Structure 1
Amino acid sequence: MREDAVKEGDKAPDFELERQDGGLFRLYELLKEKNVVLYFYPKDNTPGCTKQACEFRDQYEAFARLGAEVVGISSDTLESHQKFEAVHHLPFTLLSDKGGRVRSLYGVPRKLLLLPGRVTYIIDQTGTVRYVFDSMNKPLEHVSTALEVLKTISHERNTQNV
């Protein structure tokens, strides 16, 4: 990870990007309602990214039960995201980060100096980054790790409300 990268315990930088439906997405608007699993991935329709997106899709109900929303970000175009979403029936938001402004804001590293990295951030409703998972070669672990962290957050919240 880069030295300036967002780390566990940091406040997640707010940002605004266009959604695949053409509307605007703002991180802190969503955080008013839910925890967020924000995942940066290299490219639509590549083997690892497709596996990862489909695993997030298959586990989407579990994320919803844990009070979380999944949001994927890559530098692909809105049109690419729309096709990717339609082909794989993705129930979550994909955002187009043309030029990599948000990727840079979070300090997501490049791999082999060329490929955009694969990093997942678990952000609680206070805007605090609770966990960061950085692994290019383990796309499915991003999903299982996110679920485990969210279970911990949910358990903490439930014990505080007792």
Structure 2
Amino acid sequence: MKKGDQVPNISLKDQNGNDFSFEELKGKAFVVYFYPKDFTPGCTKEACNFRDSYEDFKELGAEVIGISADSEDSHSSFADKYELPYILLSDEDKKAREAFGVQPNLLGLLPGRETFIFDKEGKLLHKFNSMNASRHMPEALTVLRKNLN
């Protein structure tokens, strides 16, 4: 995906087993972050960073969505354990990774860690790729503050 592209129109299951479509977010800015795996140290840190700043995103009128290849049950346990207030989507068949163009890291051994920030019309404002989990949330918040104010 490149700047200005429309969010892919795909549906995935959330941590509660409900169908979720990105169409539901029309009229709201949102952040989609792809991460390798529930309960791993870097991914837990990233998820908790988004959790701890979730109110800042809500104040900007933005939603946060995390996506990995973990199952709905794994996401449910992960969200419960760390009190994650936002949507986690299960991408077991990797159709979202393909639609967003998320590349694997570490010689293809690890799923990529990439964050996408969209405006209220579902157009891509910015994307950010780094295996450093702690850099994603501040980058997303900075981009939204710059573009929504």
Q: Give the aligned length.
A: 148
TM-score normalised by the chain length of structure 1 = 0.89
SS in structure 1 of the partner of residue 94 of structure 2: helix
How large is the RMSD of aligned CA atoms in angstroms? 0.8
Within a 5 Å distance, the mapping from 1:64-143 to structure 2 comes to: 64-111=58-105, 112-136=107-131, 138-143=132-137
- Give 2:70's aligned amino acid: D
Structure number with bigger Rg: 1
Structure 2 match to 1:159 = none
Structure 2 match to 1:31 = 26
What is the CA–CA distance in structure 1 between the aligned matches of 2:35 and 2:64, rounded to whole Å?
13
Q: Is the 8 A contact 1:37 1:70 kept in 2?
A: yes
Q: Once structures 1 and 2 are overlaid, which stretch shifts more, 6-15 or 67-76?
A: 6-15
What is the CA–CA distance in structure 1 between the aligned matches of 2:120 and 2:26, rounded to whole Å?
5
- Give 1:94's aligned amino acid: L
Q: Once structures 1 and 2 are overlaid, which stretch shifts more, 18-27 or 83-92?
A: 18-27
Q: Could you report, residue by residue, the CA deviation over 1:56-95 in whole angstroms, capped at 9, with x for unpaired residues? A: 0000000000110000000000110011001100000000
The answer to whether residue 54 in structure 2 is matched with residue 60 in structure 1 is: yes
Give structure 1 regions of 4+ aligned residues with deviation exceeding 6 angstroms.
Answer: none
Within a 5 Å distance, the mapping from 1:32-51 to structure 2 comes to: 32=27, 34-51=28-45
- Give 2:49's aligned amino acid: E
What is the CA–CA distance in structure 1 between the aligned matches of 2:32 and 2:9, rounded to whole Å?
12
Q: Is the 8 A contact 1:119 1:134 kept in 2?
A: yes
Q: Is the 8 A contact 1:31 1:124 kept in 2?
A: no
Q: How many Å apart are 1:132 and its aligned residue?
A: 0.2
The answer to whether residue 3 in structure 2 is matched with residue 8 in structure 1 is: yes
Between the two proteins, what is the percent identity of the paired residues?
A: 48
- Give 2:9's aligned amino acid: D
- Give 1:89's aligned amino acid: E
Q: How many Å apart are 1:11 and its aligned residue?
A: 1.6
